[in-house]
């Protein structure tokens, strides 16, 4: 593992589930057991598998991390190394991000995801991902309609439209509110929102600086670290479509998960499924988006990549050198979502006024984070804003109602 390039800052403690009364504790002791039980309810695994999933759910609040049997997964030996630090510890005592990432990897171990047999390569969260896409069709239509208009406008004017790009950045940001690890697609449709109203809920908005970065020079490549499948992925694909068609860049790489994790995190197969869903739509603008994505994939302007780093428990500053060298070719990294934001910070309890750039100084390219707050980490805020938020919305850190667009150029 290459030496992490962390700035000369004292690293605060990682978030842990034993933090009484925290959202982290609630996640490890209640949400994660519920997610394991939802896997049982939403799949047709064998009695033995369901029993083991139930045992996993039951052990989380007060039990110890179980070992990982060799399920022939490509990341098995890496996980043996990661586990060295934490084996025989309680789930609530290990760093939260490690606990969550390992929890999802254990679900695949239990369901024999990597092994030949009846449940090989079965995505335990597929039903949620499909439902999340289908229930947001009206929001997808209302987004695809203007995208085509903005594309035609940009092409007619011969210059990329910054205002349209900013609007699509906002859609990509708020698409992150729809996170199936928090809200089941069966409960409510969180994809419908009014962009103008949501403007007040953006705590840090570097969107204009992002458009300046993208229009100041001809860009060859943008690297998009994708988060959730479903409506969020559709918002991201609209942004990708506009970045490519609107003349902001020649190529976009989507960095995707190599196996199911965090319930709704997107894999290559989920991008292909979404593209096909759009192509098969009866709505003309939705269908056109699907066709443009198909053309961009065929031409190599849109590339789908996966790497086991994205499903590892490592902080972003522990990124393998090969991946780091690959990302160094990028003009801009777009990092989506709350879990990736947590990884940028090592999922540690930094003071919320710490400058984002003072922590995230190790990436090989300019980076913009698009994140709705769903966990108790934050940076770059003023003491006044923090006080006002605490007074107006006590759950501002975790309810997904607030967002940031934070650029490190």
Ligand X SMILES: O=P(O)(O)OC[C@@]1(O)O[C@H](CO)[C@@H](O)[C@@H]1O
Question: x-or-dash pattern for ligand X, window 280-299, by CB under 6 A?
Answer: --------------------
Q: How far is the CB of 145 from ligand X (least distance, A)?
A: 26
User: Could you tell me which of 84, 88, 135, 100 has the C-alpha nearest to residue 23?
Assistant: 100
User: CA-CA distance, 202 to 37, in Å (whole number)?
Assistant: 34
Q: Which of 179, 205, 223, 270 binds ligand X (CB under 6 A)?
A: 179
* Binding-site size, ligand X (CB under 6 A): 16
Residue 71 or 338: which CB sits closer to ligand X? Answer: 338
Is 111 a residue that touches ligand X (CB under 6 A)?
no
Site for ligand X in 382-401 (CB under 6 A): 398
Q: How far is the CB of 203 from ligand X (least distance, A)?
A: 15
Radius of gyration for the alpha carbons in the chain, expressed in angstroms and rounded = 21
Helix (H, G, I), strand (E, B) or coil at 183: coil
Q: Which of 128, 176, 198, 249 binds ligand X (CB under 6 A)?
A: 176
Is 27 a residue that touches ligand X (CB under 6 A)?
yes
Diameter over CA atoms, the chain? 63
Question: x-or-dash pattern for ligand X, window 319-338, by CB under 6 A?
Answer: ------------------xx
Is 375 a residue that touches ligand X (CB under 6 A)?
yes
- CB contact set of 223 (below 8 Å; sequence gap of 6+): 252, 253, 255, 327, 330, 332, 333, 334, 365
User: What one-character DSSP code corresponds to residue 19?
Assistant: S
Q: Which of 98, 374, 404, 406 binds ligand X (CB under 6 A)?
A: 374
The H-or-E segment that residue 286 falls in is helix 284-299
User: CA-CA distance, 112 to 311, in Å (whole number)?
Assistant: 17
Site for ligand X in 217-236 (CB under 6 A): 227-228
Task: Spell out the alpha helix ranges (H) of 5-136.
Answer: 23-26, 32-42, 47-59, 76-84, 96-110, 126-134
Residue 22 or 285: which CB sits closer to ligand X? Answer: 22
Q: How far is the CB of 356 from ligand X (least distance, A)?
A: 17
Site for ligand X in 258-277 (CB under 6 A): 262
Residue position matching structure tokens 């003349």: 247
Q: How far is the CB of 344 from ligand X (least distance, A)?
A: 11
User: CA-CA distance, 227 to 254, in Å (whole number)?
Assistant: 10
User: Could you tell me which of 217, 279, 278 has the C-alpha nearest to residue 250?
Assistant: 217
Going across the sheet that includes 249-256, the strands are 202-205, 403-408, 367-372, 332-336, 219-225, 249-256, 302-306
Q: Which of 25, 71, 75, 100 binds ligand X (CB under 6 A)?
A: 100
Q: How far is the CB of 101 from ligand X (least distance, A)?
A: 9
Q: How far is the CB of 146 from ligand X (least distance, A)?
A: 24
- For residues 357 and 44, the answer to whether their CB atoms sit within 8 Å is no
Site for ligand X in 122-161 (CB under 6 A): none
Is 175 a residue that touches ligand X (CB under 6 A)?
no
Q: How far is the CB of 173 from ligand X (least distance, A)?
A: 11
Q: How far is the CB of 298 from ligand X (least distance, A)?
A: 29
Is 182 a residue that touches ligand X (CB under 6 A)?
yes
- For residues 296 and 302, the answer to whether their CB atoms sit within 8 Å is yes
Tokens matching residue 346: 């090592």
Residue 82 or 150: which CB sits closer to ligand X? Answer: 82
Q: How far is CA 205 from CA 120, 197, 200, 290, in A?
A: 43, 14, 10, 29
Q: Which of 203, 222, 339, 389 binds ligand X (CB under 6 A)?
A: 339
Which region, judged by CB under 6 A, interacts with ligand X, from 38-46, 74-82, 179-187, 240-248? 179-187
Is 313 a residue that touches ligand X (CB under 6 A)?
no
Residues that bind ligand X (CB under 6 A): 27, 100, 176, 179, 181-182, 227-228, 262, 337-340, 374-375, 398
């Amino acid at each position: 593992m290459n030496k992490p390039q962390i700035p000369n800052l004292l690293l605060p403690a990682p978030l842990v589930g034993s933090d009484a009364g925290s959202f982290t504790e609630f996640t490890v002791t209640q949400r994660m057991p519920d997610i394991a039980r939802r896997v049982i309810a939403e799949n047709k695994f064998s009695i033995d598998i369901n029993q083991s999933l139930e045992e996993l759910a039951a052990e989380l609040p007060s039990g110890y991390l179980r070992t990982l049997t060799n399920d022939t997964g490509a990341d098995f030996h890496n996980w043996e190394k990661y586990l060295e630090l934490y084996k025989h510890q309680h789930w609530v005592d290990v760093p939260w991000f490690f606990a969550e990432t390992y929890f999802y990897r254990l679900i695949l171990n239990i369901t024999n995801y990597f092994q030949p047999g009846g449940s090989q390569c079965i995505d335990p969260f597929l039903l949620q991902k499909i439902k999340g896409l289908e229930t947001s069709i009206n929001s997808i239509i209302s987004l695809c309609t203007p995208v085509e208009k903005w594309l035609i406008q940009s092409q007619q004017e011969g210059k990329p439209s910054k205002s349209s790009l900013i609007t699509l950045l906002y859609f990509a940001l708020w698409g992150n509110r729809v996170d199936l690890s928090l809200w089941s697609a069966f409960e409510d449709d969180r994809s419908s929102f009014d962009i103008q109203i949501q403007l007040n809920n953006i705590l840090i908005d570097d969107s204009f600086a992002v458009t300046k970065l993208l229009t100041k020079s001809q860009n060859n490549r943008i690297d998009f670290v994708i988060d959730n499948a479903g409506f969020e992925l559709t918002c991201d694909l609209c942004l990708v479509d506009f970045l490519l068609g609107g003349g902001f860049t020649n190529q976009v790489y989507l960095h995707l998960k190599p196996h199911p994790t965090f319930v709704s995190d997107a894999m290559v197969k989920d991008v292909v499924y979404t593209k096909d869903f759009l192509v098969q739509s009866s709505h003309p603008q939705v269908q056109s988006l699907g066709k443009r994505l198909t053309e961009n994939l065929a031409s190599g302007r849109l590339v789908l990549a996966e790497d086991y780093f994205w499903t590892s428990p490592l902080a972003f500053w522990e990124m393998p050198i090969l991946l780091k060298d690959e990302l160094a070719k990028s003009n801009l990294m777009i990092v989506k979502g709350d879990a990736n934001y947590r990884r940028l910070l090592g999922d540690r309890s930094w003071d919320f006024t710490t400058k984002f750039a003072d922590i995230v100084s190790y990436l090989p390219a300019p980076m913009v984070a698009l994140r709705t707050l769903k966990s108790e980490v934050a940076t770059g805020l003023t003491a006044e804003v923090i006080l006002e938020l605490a007074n107006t919305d006590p759950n501002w850190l975790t309810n997904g109602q607030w967002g940031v667009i934070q650029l490190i150029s």
